[in-house]
Amino acid sequence: MVPTALKRRFTVEEYHRMGAAGILNPGDRVELIEGEIVQMSPIGSKHAAFVDFLARVFFSGAGLRAIVRVQNPVRISNASEPQPDLMLLKPKIDFYASGHPGPEEVLLLIEVADTSAESDRVIKIPMYAGASIGEAWLVDMNERHIEAYWNPRGDAYASSRIHSRGTSVSPQAFPDIHVSIDELP
């Protein structure tokens, strides 16, 4: 019989204390997923271009109706604090200085994936559904499409659609903002 390794899972508070104590450095590309500290892939130039493109679309389209947050944390639970590539958040006077936003403040959450598409699909999208985030997109850089998910039911989304070349997609909260798949970098 092969022995099973015991894992020590961390809370968000412990994760933050590790950062304050210098165990995790400010430059470390990590996020807390279901109690595990997960290393994120380095940001390549193509990935950065996709994120910058989407940020420009949403900054210009949303105006003061939403806070556009790029590559910053969202507190999903006491054991998960991922850093999605982009979020549209409900406006808040302090811009969330009092604490990272929770699922109830997220209008749209976007993950841009190059090498992480499958793990984002299998791990992160169900996690976001389980947290009742109303809408999440997975931008698959290699397939050049956007997978839109909405109507969370348990740890899955009841509705989804893949938007490919020749189409555009709009967030449920802002149907007047259109992201053209053909314009992706």
Written as tens digits, the pLDDT of the chain (185 aa) is 677 777 889 999 999 999 999 999 888 899 999 999 999 888 889 999 999 999 999 999 999 999 999 999 999 999 999 999 999 999 999 999 999 999 999 999 999 998 888 889 999 999 999 999 999 999 999 999 999 999 999 999 999 999 999 999 999 999 999 999 999 99
42-183 falls under which CATH superfamily? Answer: tt1808, chain A (3.90.1570.10)
Structure tokens at 49: 């271009």
3 state DSSP class of 70: strand
Task: Tell me the pairing of strands 30-33 and 156-163.
Answer: unpaired
Q: Per the structure block, which two tokens stand in for 47?
A: 């990935």
Domain ranges of the chain: 42-183
pLDDT of residue 136: 98
Predicted pLDDT at 46: 94
How is the chain split among helix, strand and coil, in percent rounded to 5? 25, 30, 45
Q: pTM value?
A: 0.93
Ramachandran quadrant class, 143 (left: phi over 0; alpha: psi -120 to 50; beta: rest)? alpha
Residue with tokens 């271009």: 49
